[in-house]
Amino acid sequence: MSFPLTGLKVLDLSRVLAGPFAGRMLSDLGADVVKLEPPEGDVSRHWGVKRSGISGYYHQQNAGKRNISVDLHHPKGVLIAKSLLAQADVLIENFRPDVMERLGLDYDTLAEINPRLIMLSISGFGSNNADSRRAAYAPIIHAETGLIARQADLTGAFPTELPLSVADTNAAMHGLVGLLAALYAREQSGRGDHVEISMVDATIVTNDGMHYALEGKKMGVANEVYETSGGLLMLAGEFRYVWKLLNSIYNVSDGLEEVQNVSLDEKIKARRAASKHFLTKTCRNRGEVINALDRMNIAWGDVRQASDVQKLASVEARTSIAEVDDRAGGKRLIPSSPYKYKHLESKVRAGAPHLGEHNEEVLKQWLGWSTEQISTVQSAFVNTTRE
């Protein structure tokens, strides 16, 4: 089986998550992804448990890539980058919108060097507007696009950050769609393109509840966690739907049939109590709870810790968590590629690289430079294979 992107050369200048995640997925699909880092390295090299000098966060987002460490503020560093980009198919960057131009690596300049180059730029607020220069990490975008307020409205709790970086990963995924579409178009036109993704745009378009806000409506609670004799279970469907099924299929009663002048709040309170009694007392064990939910055709899920996700049957069967070389003689767990094909292959192919590990190797393979030629730009390199 072959990888669908075998032979594709990708230079990844991005940092932390949105760009690196897009590059990681391209690597899983077979692309030769070279991550170019500054002398100080990506800040995420310090996040999470370190093994062989590589942190868990960096490992997850950069597995399978090769690495060169180049100072882009050094004239020879820019020379190295431009030389690599003359051979590259794809460039990924997630700096603020004016940084690449200041480095002399903006799309118009690079297109003159390599007209077939496809450049993916991911930023918080996009270019050419009053917000463009604002620092943008996922929590800021979550706040600005209404996700945090929506969560607070639904839970009644004080606004708090989401437990995952939705804005970053959504931007990465939409960036992947955009650049793969540009690669397809290049097959017909022979011309590259510049794909610009803002985290704000990606978050808005991926918010399936955005129509409520745009139409001036409040979104109700759609799904809830229930206490059951089989543990805490998330049930799909708002409470009115769950209650209707409990009442019609199992004759669960709120006991208020003969009571006059009952308020809506009193009805809801009584029905919630009756629902809890059915799921914790009438259904005496997990098997009975699951059988009842399945009979009512209510989708359910265990409220499990992420550390227990490998116990999920589908995760085990699909090898959703893979093992790769930990660069220290052992193995390290990592989320695997989500893409499953009948005739093609996709998988995480190696652990994450050390800073500057492939400096000479990449220049020799991509550019055909000799050891002597590489020595002339050595001052822009950082040769560090262990931190």
Q: Which residues are catalytically annotated? A: 168
Q: Quote helix, strand, coil % in the chain, to nearest 5.
A: 45, 15, 40
Other Cβ atoms closer than 10 A to 30: 20
- Report CA 47 to chain centroid distance, whole Å: 16
DSSP string, 140-151: HHHHHTTHHHHH
d(CA 320, CA 28): 13
d(CA 172, CA 146): 20
CB 30 within 8 A of CB 3: yes
Name residues whose C-beta falls within 8 Å of residue 253's C-beta, 6 or more positions apart in sequence: 247, 274
CB 233 within 8 A of CB 296: no
Alpha helices in the chain (DSSP H): 18-28, 56-62, 75-85, 99-102, 107-113, 138-144, 147-155, 166-189, 199-206, 210-214, 239-250, 264-277, 286-295, 313-317, 359-362, 371-375
